[in-house]
């Protein structure tokens, strides 16, 4: 049986080099690969292109890589709530490509699914359209968007097995299954790692075929960005 387990976070990020394109799953701080991001922030790797729906906050998530100026370009849909990001973007130090969230998700999915490009209505008639090809289908206008792939994809799951099969929890699923498909090397960090055969095969979200490395994260802060409660 193929065993994709690696021993440490150092092995997880082995092979990541400056100037690479990396994908990071997560929505806000929910479902991010905390251990891999922390490890990358301790390296001297720089000039990274990072594809992630958001860019973390100032001192957590991808904000850690931003603060150390390791990121050259961000490809995201929403980047609020991060002062350092905004500063670097407005000063021109950081290149930013903002794309509609559904387009970002589909571009990742397409990249992993062997679909080089697709037409979507999102962004038609806006700055996002730019010089992209426009086509009319059934009287509605669509723009051509291309698939995204990455040298490495870093995803986070709740449970995983030694074959790389993954199960996510709650809304921590978000972009993780799509980016898992689109990475040349996909690294999955999980809260619970079990032997192959122990996960219920009816419940697996990401089949292990998409995952090259898997390990159990040593610590999860799981920070909540916007704690809201119903007052009694």
Give CB contacts under 8 A, 24+ apart, made by 93-97: 93/69, 94/66, 97/73
Burial (0-12, 13-18, 19+ Cβ within 10 Å), 2: exposed
Tell me if 134 contacts another protein by CB under 8 A.
no
Of 56, 177, 183, 217, the residue at the interface with another protein (CB under 8 A) is: 177
Which stretch, 15-23, 42-50, 130-138, 164-172, contacts another protein (CB under 8 A)? 164-172
Of 24, 154, 175, 210, the residue at the interface with another protein (CB under 8 A) is: 175
**Nearest residue (CB) to another protein, 127 versus 200:** 127
Residues 6+ apart with CB under 8 A from 211: 4, 155, 160, 164, 165, 166, 180, 186, 187, 188
Site track for another protein across 96-125, x = CB under 8 A: x-x-xxxxxxx-xx----------xxxxxx
Are 215 and 8 in contact by the 8 Å Cβ rule? The answer is: yes
Q: How far is the CB of 165 from another protein (least distance, A)?
A: 15
Q: How far is the CB of 128 from another protein (least distance, A)?
A: 6
Residues 6+ apart with CB under 8 A from 47: 18, 19, 70, 72
Beta bridge partners of 96: 74
Distance CA 181, CA 120 (A): 20
Q: How far is the CB of 116 from another protein (least distance, A)?
A: 16
Of 115, 134, 209, 224, the residue at the interface with another protein (CB under 8 A) is: 224
Where on the chain is the footprint of another protein (CB under 8 A)? 27-31, 53, 76-81, 86, 89-90, 96, 98, 100-106, 108-109, 120-128, 158, 168-178, 205, 222-232
């Amino acid at each position: 049986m193929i065993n994709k387990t690696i021993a440490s976070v150092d092995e997880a990020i082995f092979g990541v080099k400056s100037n690479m394109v990396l994908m990071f799953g997560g929505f806000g701080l929910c479902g991010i690969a905390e251990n891999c991001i922390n490890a990358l922030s301790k390296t001297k790797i720089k000039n990274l292109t990072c594809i992630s729906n958001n860019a973390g906050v100032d001192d957590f998530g991808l904000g850690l890589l931003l603060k150390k100026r390791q990121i050259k370009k961000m490809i995201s849909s929403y980047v609020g709530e991060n002062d350092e990001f905004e500063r670097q973007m407005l000063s021109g130090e950081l290149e930013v490509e903002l794309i509609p969230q559904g387009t970002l998700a589909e571009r990742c999915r397409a990249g992993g699914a062997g679909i080089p490009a697709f037409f979507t209505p999102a962004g038609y008639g806006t700055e996002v359209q730019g010089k992209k090809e426009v086509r009319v289908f059934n009287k509605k206008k669509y723009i051509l968007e291309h698939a995204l792939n990455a040298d490495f994809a870093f995803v986070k799951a709740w449970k995983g097995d030694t074959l790389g099969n993954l199960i996510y929890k709650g809304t921590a699923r978000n972009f993780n299954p799509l980016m898992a498909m689109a990475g040349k090397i996909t690294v999955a960090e999980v809260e619970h790692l079990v032997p192959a055969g122990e996960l219920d095969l009816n419940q697996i979200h990401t089949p292990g075929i998409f995952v090259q490395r898997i390990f159990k994260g040593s610590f999860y802060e799981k920070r909540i960005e916007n704690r809201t409660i119903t007052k009694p």
